[in-house]
Structure 1
């Protein structure tokens, strides 16, 4: 029988109430994970530590903050299950998510990563009704943007380890992983049903426009070229287009984001 490990990372910016909601959603799965691994990426608040200590989980306490990529890789190296299900600490999984993803992955052994559409929320799941859905087959889309809604993904553990796991690519560790899976001959797919609740805040939009983002974008484009997914002219175009998008004022950025990604239910 196939096995699933749920992998969650936390850090000093994690909100304890958000984390509790995320972990509650894992326990409420119709097909629960066989194991929960929590990686504490450096020191966390006492409130977050209390939430973590209450879990039936294997916890990795990293002595210092390494970043999302290295923290995720630290957790991945300890996982031997068939599938690794990711969830961000401020999001939530709808009850049927793991069951639907497991069914699909078992039926499609060439798929290395399977995401879902996400239903966005501001404070509590269900408060906006906005759905972000990416293409079912996102390989062409991956040449321009990350092909999976990151908090929704279930990974085939063997495939991820085969392509080297998570690399330390600032802000882009998930995109980089999906690109390497595609370059390595694995399929990446998305379920069109919104099976993950995804919190959207002004702080997230602010991070997308931070000064560090240009360097991260440039590195990711170099990686896409190195993996053979795009050529240098396309990389230059991508960098210009994505940087222009991120340079928009937050209010306009929200409107453009909605126009590009939202789907009505």
Structure 2
């Protein structure tokens, strides 16, 4: 049975108006299955250009748009948590203000939710501005697709591409919702959802063109990100999601990755997680998640042992 769903789109003063227009139109106007409402979270004051762009998008939208204006900038985690509370529907699709959804994104993702999943993501095409202007190119980043693979990978890195996800709000809130942890709030909430027994899946097909600007890899490093990384690893261990050995491994490898030069970080990430779009193979058939007791992790309460990996970065 078809279910109504909300689109959750946070916006802050650093977003570019032209990128926002492209993101909004691709995820609303151009979708073969449109959202039933759009909830825009304005995270604090925005400049006049961005404000006028938001007004034009609202007035010209083919579906209802509600803008939640926050009095000051609270950061992504609190903005999303506020947005979830404002959504009228249990099924919520995420989108960022600078990415581009492919027209059939929701047409293929919503049936997975309606078949029993609590959280479904997809592959992305990482694109730079030249790729966007040309309408082609980019590199493909494919996440793990089956529930077991997702649970295994989650003990090491984020198994979902955040701007691609569609989830049930009830499952997100049951796991505690978004909590503040710069650039890692999505990984943390997804890990808690998996531990809480949420039914998860990923599509290997790229459904979002994910913009990678000049500062994308620089933001993944530095002392601030190292501090966030250490906080994340302590919390995952304290919550029983990772073992002591996994925490030590993640702290050393992932923490060290935050301190390497940006150029090396980019090369390592691209080599490990992406392939050129031209060489990407067709998506395998998706295995739908098996229904499990929401209050019991699929593995009987113990973390799934991680597969042997030597990589050094989380997926967005």
TM-score bin (small chain): over 0.9
* Secondary structure in structure 2 of the residue aligned to 1:9: strand
Q: In structure 2, the residue corresponding to 1:255 is in which secondary structure?
A: helix
| Distance (whole Å) between structure 2 residues aligned to residue 73 and residue 82 of structure 1 | 14
1:240 matched to 2:282? The reply is no
Deviation at 1:46, TM superposition (A): 1.2
CA shift, 1:10, in A, is 0.9
Residue number in structure 2 paired with 1:117: 123
Aligned to 2:73: 65
SS in 2 for 1:58: strand
Aligned-residue CA RMSD (Å):
1.3
Q: Structure 1 residues 77-86 or 96-105, which shifts more?
A: 77-86
Q: Deviations over 1:86-128 (max 9, x none)?
A: 0111101100001100011111x1x221110001110143443
**Aligned-pair CA distance for 1:160:** 1.1
Aligned to 1:178: 190
TM-score by length of 2: 0.80
Residue 38 of structure 2 corresponds to which residue in structure 1? 36
What is the deviation of 1:233?
2.5
Q: Which moved more, 1:124-133 or 1:139-148?
A: 124-133
The Cα offsets for residues 212-249 of structure 1, whole Å up to 9 and x where unpaired, read as 10111011112211332212221121011012222222
Residue in structure 1 matched with residue 142 of structure 2 by the alignment: 133
Answer whether contact 2:98 2:211 (CA < 8 A) is retained.
Answer: yes
SS in 2 for 1:40: strand
Cα distance in 2 for partners of 1:187, 1:218 equals: 28
Question: Are the equivalent residues in 2 in contact too, given 1:22–1:92 (CA < 8 A)?
Answer: yes
* Alpha-carbon shift at residue 7 of structure 1 (Å): 0.5
CA distance in 2, matches of 1:100, 1:175: 23
Q: Deviations over 1:60-100 (max 9, x none)?
A: 11111111000000100111313111011110110000110
Q: How many corresponding residue pairs? A: 263
Q: Give yes or no for contact 1:2–1:82 (8 Å, CA) kept in 2.
A: no
Three-state SS of the structure 1 residue aligned to 2:118 is strand
Bigger Rg, structure 1 or 2: 2
Contact 1:80–1:157 at 8 Å: present in 2 too? no
